[in-house]
């Protein structure tokens, strides 16, 4: 049971590793975008396809994990294009590109190149996610005017700002809440818990989701205050580049250890040590 809990808690951590690396590479990737925006996208797209092709032809699944970097850096580049105003606002063009991207994705899935279950395409990441990302980018661009109007409503804007300010806190703590509440239920109810996907299971989901939301909100309110107190927003002296690189690599390796070996207590211990070391190096 502890191993299953450790495994479940480790699964969302892939995002933290990707977030750390992509954030650390922002100066390099923005420089590439400014110098040659189309070349940067084309080069990363070629790398993504090359990794997928090599993984599929050789059967060595581990090769696909190179796309933990290339896939998300490519989508980051698309975000740069959006921020620069380089993405078309023409409704027909956006709908056409989205349709082509989704149609290509469907065709590849039908022919067995990728799985229709997009969770399978997360581990390791594949070009299927790039096609999905292109479609989502186009649909987001279409929705932007409506989203801006919605954000103009005072209550909505306030909620978006509050959640956005604590998005990483929610991400970091929500799985611990899920595991904790599940543990409480196992202790108090035991074998009487409804089996997944049964009628009783579905009927109890609203209460379960509401409980998770309440506990996460309370926890984030407490932790958020501590985070705000620890980070008053004062300017700090930048770390030496070698120190910064070492800190990022230690943190990324720590996350990967937990992600890959999350059922092992030793992996959590080693990952924690690496993350603590990374934080100490990153602290001015």
Task: Determine if the pTM surpasses 0.85.
Answer: no
Domain boundaries, given as residue ranges, for the chain: 10-24+234-284, 36-151, 163-233
pLDDT tens for 30-80 read 999 999 999 999 999 999 999 999 999 999 988 998 998 999 999 999 999
Quick one: which of 80, 70, 101 has its CA closest to 36? Answer: 80
pLDDT digits (tens, 9 = 90+) for 158-177: 999 989 989 989 998 898 89
Q: How far is CA 73 from CA 19, 45, 129, 245, 260, in A?
A: 10, 10, 12, 17, 21
- So what's the pLDDT on residue 1? 75
Does 231 score more than 70 pLDDT? no
Nearest CA to 24 out of 76, 79, 71, 66 is that of 76
Residue 236 gets the label, from left (phi > 0), alpha (psi -120 to 50) or beta, of beta
Return d(Cα 169, Cα 36) in angstroms, integer: 35
Task: Using CB atoms within 10 Å of the CB of residue 196, give its burial: 0 to 12 exposed, 13 to 18 middle, 19+ buried.
Answer: exposed
Tokens representing 130 are 């790039």
- The answer to whether 46 touches 38, Cβ cutoff 8 Å, is no
Position 14 scores a pLDDT of: 81
Q: What is the pLDDT of residue 238?
A: 73
Least confident range of 2-11, 13-22, 200-209, 274-283: 2-11
- Going by pLDDT thresholds of 50, 70 and 90, the confidence category of residue 235 is low
Average pLDDT over all residues of the chain? 90
């Amino acid at each position: 049971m502890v191993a299953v809990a450790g495994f479940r808690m480790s699964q969302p951590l892939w995002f933290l590793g990707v977030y750390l690396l992509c954030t650390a590479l922002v100066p390099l990737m923005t420089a590439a975008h400014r110098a040659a925006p189309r070349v940067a996208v084309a080069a990363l797209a070629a790398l993504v396809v090359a990794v997928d092709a090599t993984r599929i032809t050789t059967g060595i699944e581990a090769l696909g994990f190179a796309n933990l970097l290339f896939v998300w850096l490519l989508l980051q580049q698309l975000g740069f294009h959006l921020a620069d105003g380089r993405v078309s606002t023409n409704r027909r063009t956006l709908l056409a590109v989205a349709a082509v991207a989704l149609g290509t994705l469907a065709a590849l899935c039908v022919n067995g190149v990728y799985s229709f279950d997009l969770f399978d395409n997360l581990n390791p990441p594949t070009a299927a996610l790039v096609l999905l990302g292109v479609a989502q980018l186009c649909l987001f661009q279409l929705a932007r005017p409506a989203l801006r109007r919605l954000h103009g409503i005072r209550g909505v804007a306030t909620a978006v700002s509050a959640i956005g300010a604590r998005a990483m806190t929610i991400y970091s703590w929500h799985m611990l809440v899920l595991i904790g509440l599940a543990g409480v239920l196992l202790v108090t109810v035991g074998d009487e818990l409804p089996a997944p996907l049964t009628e009783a299971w579905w009927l109890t989901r609203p209460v379960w989701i509401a409980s998770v939301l309440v506990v996460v909100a309370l926890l984030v309110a407490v932790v958020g205050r501590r985070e705000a107190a620890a980070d008053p927003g004062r300017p700090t002296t930048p770390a030496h580049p070698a120190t910064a690189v070492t800190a990022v690599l230690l943190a990324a390796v720590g996350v990967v250890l937990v992600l890959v070996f999350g059922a092992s207590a030793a992996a959590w211990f080693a990952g924690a040590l690496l993350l603590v070391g990374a934080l100490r190096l990153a602290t001015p």
